[in-house]
Structure 1
Amino acid sequence: MTSSSQPIENMPEDVFYHHSSWPERWSHPSFQKKQEWVNHLWYRESGRYASSFLHRNISEDFPWGFIIYRTIYTPESDELWPAVLSKFTRYIHYEIDCQCDVVDDRMPEQLVHESHQDVIISDKKWDGASVDQIRENFLSYLVTTPRGLEFTNPRFKGCLVIDAPALESLLHAPEPENWQFGMQRPFVGMVDAQYVEGQRWMPTGYWGYIRVELGHLWFLYLQLTWDDLHELVLPAGEFIPVYNEDLGSAQDEEGNPQSVLRNRGGRRT
């Protein structure tokens, strides 16, 4: 966090989050002069998702994004991986734009687009890795990261997993602008970093692993600013709970939809 002796408009690049896999540190001139945002009308639009997100988060929370583990490694997946990852990113950015009907000043959405940067863990040693193995490695990383185990940054509350079913769902999904109601959405897995088996605050039947439908990842990131992952899904017994905002559903291992009791409220903003 910036000290009082260091004006926010002159923040050095090392204030921002950095991962060792990135070739260079992320920086952005607008984020180094955040104090100027108060001069814009959009900064006070608390009901606008992008504005609220930029207002609430401190400099250390940027760039925002997910840590993603790839757990399928075949000759075919090696060839498809760049295209699949690109489509994953397009879904996130399309969702950001869809949640704003303002046409005049798109600056906050543009800043959210430009401050998105995921961490990709792609190494064949993770081929077929289990949820427990991924969680153990993720927690080991968080120990070394400032504020990692505080779980105040959505990036650190859980990590995404692209396994064989997730890769297939992305591969066969339409482009986000072509998705229509009634179509099954592509999805990714998500490991809950805060899950501890047997702890009383964990819901019965919740195992610390969910799936997230694309088209809802950006809003999930917003919700994780104030909620924990286990609060956002319904336990699904033998199936895998699926996050899709307030709808509630589940899947089997292969990604086939399954029925689950619906009990979710509306969006919080």
Structure 2
Amino acid sequence: MRTVYVNGEYLPETEAKVSIFDRGFLMADGVYEVTSVLDGKLIDFEGHALRLQRSLDELDMRNPISSEDLLEVHRELVRLNGIDEGMIYLQITRGAPGDRDFVFPDPETTDPTIVLFTQNKPGLADNPAAKQGIKVISIEDIRWGRRDIKTVQLLYPSMGKMMAKKAGADDAWMVEDGVVTEGTSNNAYIVKGNRIITRSLSQSILHGITRAAVLRFAREAQMEVEERDFTIAEAQEADEAFVTSASTFVMPVVEIDGVALGGGVPGRVAPRLREIYLDESRKAAI
């Protein structure tokens, strides 16, 4: 049985409780982060902590825990649950300040709810999908506009993954105004020659922590990076494609809307970036 963390307490998961009046439950009024664990250590913790604070600030929500204490909670959950490879899910909501109401009170008078739990994922770094690549379909992006805030409003991304599954694919890329925004739970890229192309940061996409690291490593490896919009048609004509996220690291894409890229097998750039990312992340893990 897992040990989880709820509002300052470490509890067996069967004893963890949150109020039915919690605004995260009633209105998706909350944010989250997912931090990967490799070799029992945290990957990119600082980046996740900084993005968490940004998300809270954008929603005018108080952070109930310091970065130092949050790090200790992460480490303790890894220890208590014996996680060697896996993930830690963190969620902070506005809490349950009173009866259900669209208007929320002053953040300084409201006690947020904080929950963390682990997911044990042996073989996370050696995911077989990374060797064969994944297939994606395109779907319309009809989410709210502030995708840069990592909120718990995940219904449409969940529906997108189910649309992909029904179509015999692994995931979906979302399209708005004719261009790709991002994947359902990842940032999207195409490769032409030695040039990596991905959408620039804005309110339209999540500011991926893995994205930032991968692009930095790519530039250090003398790969050209171009941040701009691209279409599905352009992606289908690319040499290769891939996605990045905290849970998949760098994942090659070998088919888009039924069109195979590079003969339907991963190219050279995505696997190399995955290798670099895992090596460097393990060195910097805490």
Query: TM-score surpassing 0.5?
Result: no
**More strand as a share of residues:** 2
Give the structure-1-normalised TM-score: 0.31
Give the structure-2-normalised TM-score: 0.30
**More helix as a share of residues:** 1
Bigger relative contact order (CA 8 A; separation at least 6): 2
